[in-house]
Every structure is written in structure tokens, then in C-alpha cells.
Amino acid sequence: MQVIILGSGSPLPDPHRAGPSTLVRTSVGDFVFDCGRGVLMRAAAAGSGAGAFRAVLLTHLHSDHITDLNDIYTSRWVTSFQSNPLPVYGPPGTAALLEAIGTMLEPDIAYRLAHHDDLRWPPSAVVTEVTEGVIFHEGAVRITAGPTDHAPVRPTVGYRIDDGAQSVVIAGDTVPCAGLNELAGTAGVLVHTVVRRDLIEPIGLPRLTDVLDYHSSVADAAQTAARNDVRTLILTHLVPTPAPGSEQEWLDQATAHFSGEVMVASDLLSVDVPA
């Protein structure tokens, strides 16, 4: 199993970092977790694409995590030569989101259906709203959802993907919590979104300091990794964007609390999951 970071960026546009998204390549295909800005550009670079995704899984409905879902929905439709509904998993509210995306795309759908004789079906999704428990099981792959804590955003979920003896956990945006601990136990790779409290706090801008109370700091994420005997911690959704050459600071803040392997994500970072 492989983890490929499609987007490592913060909600703010960045020339080098796409919005939050992680591709997990399993023995039964590619699964995409969250779909921030630029997800399909990065998926193309990773040799994947909307038509091939086994499923899109959302951790929560914040705009930076879902902004390109409409791109996946449309691109899958126009590049498939038979009806190819998009499986989407996400917290309650996900079905209404897909309905709304369908409404937003009504003019486009009508143009293309009228223009292409061989396109005789509209785009569609198969939505499964999830809170906890096993949500997918095929071959050696099992995906489990569990509650996270990103309050006042509710509900939010994290995911654990087991493929035989290999495991990956996608934390999403969350503070340390029991639900994440339950998912993360002895995981091979933990992909965790983080903010730098020490850089954000001194700026003193309320719109920025607000983000601190519902995200994990680098130390928080490292402590979650240590508490749960994780092998490799990947820091992503980096807020604020690391200044060039400052990656070591992020690593140092994590390794002060966690003795396993730590990586600071960049777009298209690819990691083979240890067995």
C-alpha cells in the first residue's frame, strides 16, 4: 500500500501546494481522502484520475477539503464510456452536498447531454454517510471510520485503511481525541493535518488565532502518534505554509514528542506503507 500526498497546503492558495487531499493506493485500487484545490492535477501526476478512483472519502465538509469535488464528479462523468457513478463516503451532510453539486452543474450537464450522442446518462454518485465502524470491505482492504473532534464543525470523521498487514490512518482536521486514538493504534502511517501554534499566535489576527482551537499543533499530532505506537507520521495541510528551508523546525517540534519516523509533506510525497 502506498500513500501519495496530493495536496499538502493550507486553505490559502499557494503556488506550490494544492489543497488538502491524500491518495491511498491499495490492492483493490485508489482511494482519495478529501479533495481540496487542484486535486485532479496532482492525481494526474500520480498516474491516477477521476475515472479510476474507487471512492472519494471526506473527513468533513469545510470548503478547503471539498472544493474540487465537483471537478472529480464532472471529470469522471465525461471521461467514462459507460455509467460510472462516483462512490462518495462522508459525514452526515454529504448526500445534500452531492445534491447541491448536481444542481450547480445543471447547465453543464444539459449542454453535454445535448451535444454528445454517445453520452446518454447524467453524472451520478453513490453516497454513503458514515460516522463510525467498517464502511468498506473488499479483498484484503478494510476501511473503518471513526469520530474526530473539529468542533464546532460536526460531525467529522477520520479513516483507517487496512490492506492485509499494512495500515494507514487519515486524521483530517481534529484536536487529539479518543475517536482518533481508536483508529490510530499501531498504524503504519498516520497522515495528520497540523498548525504551527508558535507562528500563528504572535500574529494576533483573530481570524487566524481562531483556527488554533480546532486543529492539532505539531506537538499534538506527534503526541497522538506516540500514544498510539504509530510507525510513520506525515504532517500535512501545513498552516502556515513552511518558509523555504524551515522544514527542520517542523520535524524538530514533532520529534521532541515522537521517536518514530516523521515526514513534512510536500505535494506528491509518496510513501510505501511498512508491513
Alpha-carbon distance of 4 to 169, in angstroms, equals: 13
Sheet holding 86-90, edge to edge: 125-129, 86-90, 55-57, 29-33, 21-26, 2-7, 270-272
* Least distance to Zn ion, CB of residue 10, Å: 8
From the candidates 30, 64, 163, 220, give the one annotated as an active-site residue: 64
Site string for Zn ion, 53-72 (x = CB under 5 A): ---------x-x--------
**What grid cell was written down for 205?**
489576527
Q: What are phi and psi of 7, to 5 degrees?
A: -145, 125
Residue closer to Zn ion by CB (options 77, 250) is 250
Residue closer to Zn ion by CB (options 26, 67) is 67
List all residues 6 or more positions away from 250 whose beta carbon is below 8 Å from its beta carbon. Answer: 194, 196, 218, 235, 238, 242, 264
* Least distance to Zn ion, CB of residue 149, Å: 11
Site string for Zn ion, 162-181 (x = CB under 5 A): -----------x--------
* Measured CA distances, 254 to 96, 260, 262, 273 (Å): 38, 10, 7, 20
Check binding of 37 to Zn ion (CB under 5 A). no
Residue closer to Zn ion by CB (options 172, 188) is 172
Residue closer to Zn ion by CB (options 25, 62) is 62
* Least distance to Zn ion, CB of residue 172, Å: 7
Check binding of 30 to Zn ion (CB under 5 A). no
* Least distance to Zn ion, CB of residue 20, Å: 6
State yes or no: is 272 an active-site residue.
no
Total of chain residues touching Zn ion, rule CB under 5 A: 3
Q: How many CA atoms lie within 13 A of 196 on its CB side?
A: 21
* Measured CA distances, 119 to 83, 106, 107 (Å): 9, 15, 15
Residue closer to Zn ion by CB (options 123, 179) is 179
Alpha-carbon distance of 98 to 123, in angstroms, equals: 11
Q: Annotated catalytic sites, by residue?
A: 64
Binding stretches for Zn ion (CB under 5 A): 62, 64, 173
